[in-house]
Amino acid sequence: MITIDTRSRVPIYEQLEKQIIKLINLGIYETDSPLPSVRSMACELGINPNTVSKAYKGLEQQGVIYTVTGKGIFVNSTDLSKIHKQTIKALKNVLIDARNSGIQKPTIQKIINEIWEGAGNDSN
């Protein structure tokens, strides 16, 4: 369900965070249901447990998941508004760059339509 591209310039922990968010948004990870343990996730993806841990901590700090010591890690709620804020901030930056380099609004519209209607993969 989760795929990591070790060659990508996007840090592994960010790839993980994004894909977990996607799975939560899709309803595959439900509120108060447990995520795979750090170890099993690391093993499954063939990455360093530290890296998984970093991703989990990032998500916890954003209020998306919570830890119960000795029990595991759980989805906090499917309210992703905090995440949205960050994403929108990043989006604004890129859009400003696009505008500054002279890309026209209709070009942007096309791209949006492509992505929202297209089969759309991930962004690594």
Q: Which SS3 state, helix, strand or coil, does residue 9 take?
A: coil
123 binds its own copies (CB under 8 A): yes
Q: What is the largest CA-CA distance in the chain?
A: 54
Considering only the stretches 6-14, 19-27, 93-101, 104-112, report the one whose residues sit in contact with DNA under the rule CB under 7 A.
6-14
The entry of its own copies, DNA, none that residue 3 binds, CB within 5 to 8 Å by partner kind: none
Length of the chain: 124
73 binds DNA (CB under 7 A): yes
Q: Quick one: which of 7, 71, 89, 105 contacts DNA (CB under 7 A)? A: 71
For residues 122 and 18, the answer to whether their CB atoms sit within 8 Å is yes
